[in-house]
Amino acid sequence: MRNNRIGFKLGLVIITVFLIVLLFLGFAIDRMFTNFYSAEMQRENEEITSHFAVMANADDTTSEQTMKTFAEFSGVSIFNILKNGEVILHSGIHDSADRSFIRASDIDKIFSGEKINLQYEDTAGHRYMVSGQPISSGGVINSALYVMSSTEQMEQSLSGVRNLLLLSGMGAFLLALGITWIIAQILSRPLLQMQSATRKIAQGELETRLEIRSKDEIGTLAEAINDLAVDLQRYRDTRQEFFSNISHELRTPITYLEGYSKVVKEQLYETEEEKDRYLDIIYQEAVRLQHLVDDLFDLAKMEEGRISLVPEWIDLSELIEQAVRKVELKARNKSLGLNINQSGTAIMVRADGKRMEQIVLNLLENAIRYTEQGSIDVYLIYGSDSITIIVEDTGVGIPADELPYIFERFYRVEKSRSRQYGGTGLGLSIVKKLIEIQCGQIKVTSEAGIGTRFEISFVLPPESREGGI
Ligand code: ADP
């Protein structure tokens, strides 16, 4: 019962409600039958009384005997009473001495021409239906006629009906109890299964899945628990992969640093140029390490959702010009062209300027890094409700089968090539995260040996753009 608390509570509520309804219904049906039987009996008794009154009126000496026979035959007791209370005729099983049902007020009513009806219980506990009517001749009321019918038969019929009601009520209650138990089981079983599944998931058994049997709220809850388990599993796997990648990425430059600093320290070089080359490698690896740590720090902040945007009104044309200026030297060193193309009516937009510059710079640096000849073109397109930035190069390109993975952390096309260029494999995943937290989209198209094109677009709600500039 402890494990099945919801089922028990639910069952208790249903049964309580059912019992209340059943009791009210039983009471109402019982009242209905009692009233119906009483009304019927009263009507019959009144009718018999009327017959007796007619008989008593007949100006005939045999009428008294006929009334007695008729009373015996109908199983009723009759009392014919004068105004002073004297009984001039009595017949039937009811003791003529017991006349406590005869009240002076009723006699007055009858002698004023009215009919009366009452219920009476004698000292032995027998109940009667009593009707009283006047007997008159020639317009003068001579006496009052009382007819008493025993209610025993009616009570027997009523008790039969009550027994039947009780029996059917008990049957319905047992049926409801059974159905409630089944419903409680049906409802609580999946909940108990979910409880044990979530316990298992909490204990690290992330492969645990629930069977979805329905499309209702319980089914949706089971689906949500399954999704949660899948997410946790994915999170655990990527975290493990992430840590093994980090240790691998850190180990490589550290090994270089260790090796080359040892060579310099122990003077294992032959010429000064050789020493300079080793020192240069040590410097390059230290810079790489710095980049890696910075990128990891950024990514960790974004993954935890700790990065907060600082929205401001920015002029994207100016922002792109600044970014291009920053990488100009690198492009010139490789004799690469660097062009900005702008179309549409320039507007001020509300976005995080620092993060936008980080996105553009990252794409520009990649473009310069992976392009040996040709040019890099930046397009800034102002649409009616969106803004698109394109960074296109004529570099080495990315093979089609590797394109889907380039936004993953530490993913590099041709590992050795990227190391040679000094990349960390984190740049594009940072770019993607930065775009996503600003509700933008990034698309890439590339062809090996021809070039790569990154297209970023942001839909601008009216409150994020401001007139032409
Ligand atoms: P990295 O720091 O190694 O450049 P990124 O995440 O920025 O890491 O990029 C992932 C991989 O995508 C890179 O290793 C590189 O091989 C490829 N890549 C990115 N940009 C370009 C580009 N413009 N042209 C060709 N390859 C690119």
Measured in angstroms, how far is the CA atom of residue 413 from the centroid of ligand 1?
7
Choice from 298, 299, 396, 406 to test ligand 1 binding pocket (greatest atom count within 8 A of CB): 406
Angle at the Cα of 181 from the Cα atoms of 175 and 183, rounded to 5 degrees: 100
Whether 190 is in the pocket of ligand 1, judged by its Cβ within 6 Å, is no
Measured in angstroms, how far is the CA atom of residue 17 from the centroid of ligand 1?
69
Measured in angstroms, how far is the CA atom of residue 387 from the centroid of ligand 1?
24
Spatial strand order of the sheet with 337-343 comes to: 337-343, 375-382, 386-393, 451-459, 440-447
Burial profile 11-44: b = 16 or more Cβ within 10 angstroms, e = fewer: beebbeebeeebeeebeebeeebeeebeeebbeb
Q: Do residues 372 and 396 lie in contact, with contact meaning Cβ atoms separated by under 8 Å?
A: yes
Provide the 8-state DSSP code for 241.
H
CA 182/CA 188 separation, integer angstroms: 10
> Which atom from ligand 1 is nearest to the alpha carbon of 425?
8
Would the pTM count as exceeding 0.85? no
Q: How many residues does the chain have?
A: 469
Residue written as token pair 């070039």: 451
Whether 425 is in the pocket of ligand 1, judged by its Cβ within 6 Å, is yes
Whether 465 is in the pocket of ligand 1, judged by its Cβ within 6 Å, is no
Whether 356 is in the pocket of ligand 1, judged by its Cβ within 6 Å, is no
Measured in angstroms, how far is the CA atom of residue 411 from the centroid of ligand 1?
8
Q: Do residues 152 and 129 lie in contact, with contact meaning Cβ atoms separated by under 8 Å?
A: no
Query: Which is nearest to 47 in space by CA: 149, 127, 122?
Result: 149
Measured in angstroms, how far is the CA atom of residue 424 from the centroid of ligand 1?
9
CA 373/CA 164 separation, integer angstroms: 101
262 phi/psi in degrees, rounded to 5: -65, -40
Give the 3-state secondary structure of residue 406: coil
Contacts of 320 (CB under 8 A, 6+ apart): 340, 360, 378, 380, 389
For atom 22 of ligand 1, the residue with the nearest CA is 367
pLDDT in tens, the chain (469 residues): 454 567 788 888 888 999 999 999 999 999 999 999 999 999 999 999 988 888 877 656 667 788 888 888 888 999 989 888 888 888 887 777 888 888 889 999 999 989 999 999 888 888 999 999 998 877 788 889 999 999 998 999 999 999 999 999 999 999 988 998 888 888 888 888 999 999 999 999 999 999 988 888 889 999 999 999 998 887 888 778 778 878 877 888 899 899 999 999 999 888 999 999 999 999 988 998 898 888 888 888 887 777 788 899 999 999 999 999 999 999 999 999 999 999 988 889 999 998 999 999 999 999 999 999 999 999 999 998 899 999 999 999 999 988 988 998 878 887 656 566 667 788 899 899 899 988 899 999 999 999 999 999 999 887 777 765 5
CA 175/CA 158 separation, integer angstroms: 25
Q: Say what the pLDDT of residue 61 is.
A: 60
Give the 3-state secondary structure of residue 289: helix
Query: Which is nearest to 162 in space by CA: 352, 360, 278, 27?
Result: 27
